[in-house]
Amino acid sequence: MKILNAALLLVLIASSVNAVDISIFDDLTSNALLTENITLTFTPAENTYSFHIPDGVQDVSAYGGSITNNTFTPDNKTCGSPCIATISYTQTDALESIPNNRKRVNRIYLFPAEVRNFTVTIALPPEYVLDAPSRSYAIVPPASTLSTDGTRTYITWTSQNPQLPRAYILLLSKINNHDEDGLQSLTSELLEWQTYAVSAVFACFGFIAGLLYNKRKKKEEGTTIESIPDSVLTPDEKTIVTTLEESGRINQKEIARKTGYSKAKVSAVVANLEGKRVVERERAGRSYIVQMAKKVVKERRKQH
């Protein structure tokens, strides 16, 4: 599947940091604009958190930190306990057109540091509903909760110690203009789904809970992606990835020779790529042997 609109909102580029709680709220509009709001909660530490802001986003604002050269650095030394930092921005082209008049939302998140509690919520445009072709799913991975305020639908995923990178995908279609009852029908279905789910759990908790857990686990495991877009990588990371793609399995010292980077810089960048699970390395004497663990896909840039 072609990867478009890869979110990677923020890419943590510190090599050693404390666990972070991350909450993401995506406000999606019908004209494919997406406003992304990220809240980071963590304990004060001596380490410096640095987040790379995606290229091409607009209306960037931050609280509890500073932005320099497209990098957001939270204030993690003089803040309270816990520290809270937020950043938001607007991204275009967040709705991808697919066959049968459907739209796809594809968000990819990747953090090399330890993420403790991870929450993602996407608010759908009022005129869109979840819609998938037969033998497919409109929500991948399965959502933790579905809700509506009578106008919009909200999909939320929550996880602890998530395995990243992971793709969060929604398939949507637009409500027909003549179907005035479409949204009310969706609301009713959501409420019925919640009612039936609760009834089923109380009626036969043991059997149903075990069955749903196994199915959910398989589906979630299936969402761990084996390729990532190049937009989630820094320029130095891209240089080393290119070297590995051309040379295959290679000694870390050889990477320094081929790229012209210092050994210390190569060590730091490779460690960061390993944290993002893009590369794998194993000890070889006083150095390391490095190889690619995931395929890096070059994203198409739209011509304006």
pLDDT tens-place string over residues 87-97 = 899 999 888 88
The pLDDT of residue 82:
82
pLDDT value of residue 121: 96
What is the sign, positive or negative, of the torsion defined by CA atoms of 244, 71, 56, 167?
positive
Q: Say what the pLDDT of residue 25 is.
A: 96
d(CA 32, CA 75): 32
User: Does residue 120 have a pLDDT over 90?
Assistant: yes
Among 78-82, 135-139, 179-183, where is mean pLDDT lowest?
179-183
- Is the whole-model pTM more than 0.85? no
In CATH terms, 228-297 corresponds, of 3.30.470.20, 3.40.47.10, 1.10.10.10, 1.10.1740.10, to 1.10.10.10
User: Once rounded to an integer, what is the mean pLDDT over residues 42-61?
Assistant: 77
Confidence at residue 122, expressed as pLDDT on a 0 to 100 scale = 96
Q: What is the arithmetic mean of pLDDT over 131-143? A: 83
Of 30 and 254, more confident: 254
250/244 Cα distance (integer angstroms): 7
Per-residue pLDDT at 217: 47
Domain boundaries, given as residue ranges, for the chain: 11-225, 228-297
Mean pLDDT of the region 98-103: 87
Report phi then psi at 51, rounded to 5: -120, 130
Alpha-carbon distances of 145 from 134, 163, 194, 302, rounded to whole Å: 22, 20, 9, 34
Determine the topology of domain 11-225 in CATH.
Immunoglobulin-like (2.60.40)
Residue 8: which pLDDT band, with cuts at 50, 70 and 90?
very low
Looking at every residue in the chain, the average pLDDT score rounds to 76
SS3 per-residue string spanning 195-222: HHHHHHHHHCHHHHHHHHHHHHHHHHHC
Residue 45 phi/psi, 5-degree rounding, is -155, 165
